[in-house]
Amino acid sequence: MPSRLNLHNTVALITGAKRIGAVVAEELARRGVNVALSYSRSKTEADLAVARVRALGANGQSFQADLTSPDACRALVASTVASFGRLDILIQMASVYAARPFDELTDDDWAASANVDLRSSFLCAQAAVPHMRAQGGGRIINFSDWLAKSGRPRYRGFLPYYVAKAGVIALTEALALELAPDHVLVNAIAPGPIVAPPGTTSEEHRAVETATPLGRWGGEIEIAKAVLALLDSDFITGETIRVDGGRHVR
């Protein structure tokens, strides 16, 4: 059975509705994809993203979900299928990104990254796969980080985040092997300097531009382009693709 995916009238679930997730949702809607968006606390941003999806003629809905909870991960997938009737694409962007020195790390800090960045990616995939199997295939796109893909943490203060994102790469590879017979292709995107985190100073912003061979931040659209490229491919699976302006080669 071929694994080709005709995007028109398919359904995508995106975990993480802010900033990059909203732009990805909009670009999917332009291709005729109906989009479910999950959010933890950012209801306003999620509702705005849904409005943009609907303005493009696609169906869009948002769901609140605490992805630290296994039951919530499963319920999110179930709610998506109940509302849309199917699930073809799972894009897992939800993440915990917070700096804290090693000596100040708590059990909760570790659990937050491990549960949201890594465990929820497994649980949502596990819940989604039966629906994809029923349709003869699907796509799962996880989100790692350019540093984890490059195999070097580089920045102090992000230990749980880095470990979780490295785990996402391993999860992607293992899921790709497990799900290949079901024509479910599993890949990951490892963003670099796409959009500046809140609180970034102008000096820090310019330093990143200087350190990036292409000399600029990429912008959300570059992630959307990578997502669409992976959705269009019928023969890429188990891969993690850096979208970092060449940052890893410097």
Set out the domains of the chain in order of their start, with CATH numbers.
11-242 (3.40.50.720)
Please, are residues 161 and 116 in contact by the beta-carbon 8 Å criterion?
Answer: no
pLDDT > 70? residue 165:
yes
The CB density around residue 82, as the number of other CB atoms within 10 Å, is: 9
The neighbouring-strand residues paired with 89 are: 12, 139
Can you tell me the distance from the alpha carbon of 225 to that of 6, in angstroms, rounded to the nearest whole number? Answer: 17
Q: What is the pLDDT of residue 197?
A: 85
Condensed to tens digits (0 to 9), the pLDDT of residues 124-160 reads: 999 999 999 999 999 999 999 999 999 989 899 999 9
Q: What is the pLDDT of residue 3?
A: 61
Collapsed DSSP state (helix, strand, coil) of residue 10? coil
Residues involved in catalysis: 161
Q: What is the pLDDT of residue 18?
A: 84
Q: What is the pLDDT of residue 1?
A: 44
Angle at 107 between CA 104 and CA 113, to 5 degrees: 95
Condensed to tens digits (0 to 9), the pLDDT of residues 199-218 reads: 899 999 999 999 999 999 99
Mean pLDDT over 28-42 rounds to 96
Angle at 16 between CA 107 and CA 85, to 5 degrees: 120
Tallying the residues shown for the chain, one arrives at 250
Which of 242, 198, 201 is closest to 223 using CA atoms? 242
Task: Specify the pTM.
Answer: 0.96
Range with the poorest average pLDDT among 52-61, 96-105, 116-125, 166-175:
96-105
Mean per-residue pLDDT over the chain, rounded? 95
Segments in 56-106 forming alpha helices (H): 70-84
